[in-house]
A = this chain, B = another copy of it.
Amino acid sequence: MKLCLKNAKIGILDKENHWSIIDGNVWVKDGIIEYVGDQMVSGYEEVDCENNLLLPGFVNAHTHSPMTCFRSLADNKPLDKWLNEQIFPREALLTEEDMYWFTKLAILEYLSSGVTSIFDMYFAKEGVAKACEEYGFRLTMCGAVNDFVQSVPEMKELYLKYHNYLDGLIDYKLGFHAQYTTDDALIGEIAALAHELKEPVFTHLSETKKEVADCVTAYQKTPLAYLCDKGIFDYGGGIFHGVYLSDEDISLLKEKHIAVITNPSSNLKLASGIANGDKLLKQEILMAIGTDGAASNNALDMFREMYLTGTLSKVINEDACAVDATDVLKMACINGNLLLGKADVGQIKAGYKADLVLLDLKSPNMQPVNHILENLVYAGAKSNVKFTMVNGKILYRDGSYLLPDSPYTVYNHCNDIVKRKF
């Protein structure tokens, strides 16, 4: 498939790694960006971008796709009760087939929000991958080992199967649910696997005050210090949430090249707290952004997360200059790919995979046209998404999906499962 995306305002990074917007065309051939510039090409299907903004697609760097299942089933609960009383018992009822359908529902929502790639942690074996493969949606699965589900040998098997699968459309990273759900011996096994495979590890960490306090009581160390001592992050990795990080924790993040994936809206709704993005950026910690699952959030909307990532850091630091919008945009478009080790995704540049989003600048919230990128972070919304392209294919355009199923087929399956099981 050969496409020429013409008349676009193209968001690229200049030599100093700053965002720059150029007017031009992007040629896409067999899923790869072939050319970016002012020339046209013959024999390619033309897509007129009408001077709208073309950006690298958003990476949702922490989510649990099948949890669309629990959306608004149990709101207004604190994290521990929500997890133990509402979520875990219902999760136990989910089959791979259920998770496949709820992942499809999540993909519909991702595409409507300009998301082209997800880093998904769930205890599914095949369901999530099958849905993404069928829809041609970019997925990196994250191990979800803990004391109750998924073993380390099972994680290794999934890693070997899905590591750089389908030319990287599907991928796999090691991970475990959290220090507080994973016992000491199991954490040792995970660290051993990370050493064996020389792979980074990802986990929920320092999401709540209680979690940190409990770990300090048990081990006289913060969860991060404890896991570093266990060798979990000897090949790098990342932590999801990172709300309660001490200065020593931040030094460890830097030393061990551990990224922080922030999930601001989930942290608000579960009353967990507010991560200090400004402090992390000043220490040059790699930051990316995730929605978390639809059970806690409840929307898989990267515009909301971008807005919050920028503005919550301003308010907690009492500094309206904290966390620049263009940094937030890097977190959303670029850093997610960096932390997943995807060197060929996340920029609009020849040779990169064509994961792209076109954003409507002719909507009222984008007018008048002052500072486009800042405005996208502070005023952008899902309604601005004109199209979302993954691996060179437009999967969503002007509110319609170009996928093998109708959305109604997905909705019907999902509602049926909820009715039958909960």
Contact = CB atoms under 8 A, between A and B. Distances in A.
B109 A364 contact: yes
A407 B364 contact: yes
Given A265-B311, A369-B415, A381-B301, A321 B76 contact: yes
A299 B376 CA distance: 10
Contacts of A375: 71-72, 298
B268 A312 contact: yes
A235 interface: no
Contact of A112 (B77, B314, B364, B418): B364
A282 interface: no
A341 interface: no
Nearest to A312: B268
A367 B68 contact: yes
Contact of A78 (B105, B320, B415): B320
A414 B381 contact: no
Nearest to A323: B76
A370 interface: yes
B314 A269 contact: yes
Interface stretch (A141-149, A198-206, A270-278): A270-278
A308 B82 CA distance: 20
Contact of A71 (B79, B265, B294, B370): B370
A394 to B, nearest CB: 17
A300 interface: yes
A370 B109 contact: no
B75 A378 contact: yes
B314 A271 contact: yes
A315 B267 contact: yes
A411 to B, nearest CB: 5
Contact of A408 (B112, B270, B362, B408): B362
Nearest to A366: B71
A314 B75 contact: no
A153 interface: no
A385 to B, nearest CB: 8
A378 B72 contact: yes
Contacts of A299: 365, 378-381
A72 B273 contact: no
Interface in A49-72: 68-69, 71-72
Contacts of A411: 362, 367-368
Interface in A366-392: 367-372, 374-375, 378-383
Contacts of A378: 72, 75, 269, 297-299
Interface of A: 68-69, 71-73, 75-79, 82, 105-106, 108-109, 112, 265, 267-274, 294, 297-301, 304, 307-308, 310-312, 314-315, 317-322, 324-325, 362-365, 367-372, 374-375, 378-383, 399, 407-408, 410-411, 414-415, 417-418
For the complex of A and B, 6 pairs with smallest distance between CB atoms: A268-B311, A72-B375, A299-B379, A109-B364, A108-B364, A298-B379
22 contacts: A71-B375, A71-B379, A72-B371, A75-B374, A76-B324, A265-B311, A267-B315, A268-B314, A269-B320, A270-B320, A294-B379, A297-B378, A297-B379, A299-B365, A299-B379, A301-B365, A362-B408, A367-B414, A368-B417, A381-B383, A382-B383, A383-B399
